Structure 1
């Protein structure tokens, strides 16, 4: 398999068996690496940069005190996971272990803003202009810098009165804990589409979805 090849979901799942600290999330491989100190995190950040330069393949890395949040996807393959991502994840995991970093998958969350609309082409340009987003998949807008949430337009002839909701993506390994906390906080849960997503509604009727990588393609 060439390093440029996009991986199928079964191939990604097989690779993740050997990468226990990583999760598939919103089309990329993600890891949260908690280091012994902030200085160690900065050193690991530099090591990841060197590994990326050597591989000519560059991840998104967010440094937060003693923790690094790393996302790997191949932009030239349409933000899909390729063999390059798996190879770099393996190298990063090795460097993290040497630095004494610990994977914390429970810290991995991503927010996608969803809007119910009967015609997303009529409204998407407004949101793209206001937020500086660019077209990703046909029904979504993405931040080229990767800082703002993706905006997804849920095409429907019967938009909900609450047109906006958050899709909160968590690893499947953490979903039941998160759902239990959401329910304990007062939400009602609709599990009819689990494990792909569960709709949570708060006491005022506001909706959100707790989403996982299960039931999704690569």
Structure 2
């Protein structure tokens, strides 16, 4: 079991990422996508990542989509935060990817969460946790223990309106500009009061979503 003081602060994470151009910080983890020339190349990269994970006894969440491999490193024994084990593993995987002729495309890694506006999170969170088979996260949110489904967060709203559910779409700040421009071009209402942490988007029927970045997120240490 790792100690809490193993958790890297946001300044430490940002400093480490300066030497890890293939990777981005995302909600307690380091994420990226590698594109290989062929599907067989992706399988070879997955095998290489598996060997590195076994050698380090530190295993990522990994998803294979034809010739792209989606990877996320996080230290689950400290409530899903980033430690030096994650930055070291990320560096090793980048070397393996380069050797396989893979191209890093970290901007493709999106994370989608469900936000629920409520005046009483304790009164409803257990229903959602049990129905989804999730566990409680460090900040009162709900997370899929297998990293497959979207997270669920409960946002304090003393007087929620009729539209209590919204979707949070997380991208890295470095790649968020194009998404914001394309979304604005659809004619949606864009509220940038809390940018760059999030921009609240409202469609023509009043449905909301938030385009979020890593700004304002990270261990408070």
Partner of residue 88, structure 2:
87
* 1:19-58 correspondence to structure 2 within 5 Å: 19-58=20-59
2:8 is the counterpart of 1:7: yes
Q: 1:138 to 1:173 in 2, by over 3 A?
A: closer
Structure 1 stretches lacking a partner, 5+ long: none
1:192 is displaced (CA, Å) by 0.7
Q: Does the 8 Å contact 2:27/2:217 carry over to 1?
A: no
1:72 is displaced (CA, Å) by 0.4
Partner of residue 66, structure 1:
67
User: What's the secondary structure of 1:21's corresponding residue?
Assistant: coil
CA–CA separation in structure 1 for the residues paired with 2:138 and 2:115: 14
Question: TM-score by structure 1 length?
Answer: 0.96
CA–CA separation in structure 2 for the residues paired with 1:91 and 1:203: 46
CA–CA separation in structure 1 for the residues paired with 2:211 and 2:143: 20
1:160 is displaced (CA, Å) by 2.8
CA–CA separation in structure 2 for the residues paired with 1:76 and 1:112: 22
User: What's the secondary structure of 1:195's corresponding residue?
Assistant: coil
1:216 is displaced (CA, Å) by 2.3
Question: TM-score by structure 2 length?
Answer: 0.95
1:155 is displaced (CA, Å) by 1.5
Partner of residue 174, structure 2:
173
CA shift digits 1:9-66 (9 cap, x unpaired):
0010011011111000111000010111000000100100000000000100000000
Q: Does the 8 Å contact 2:75/2:82 carry over to 1?
A: yes
Total equivalences in the alignment: 217
1:214 is displaced (CA, Å) by 1.5
CA–CA separation in structure 2 for the residues paired with 1:170 and 1:148: 17
User: What's the secondary structure of 1:40's corresponding residue?
Assistant: helix
CA shift digits 1:71-118 (9 cap, x unpaired):
000000110000000000000000000001111122110001000011
Partner of residue 206, structure 2:
205
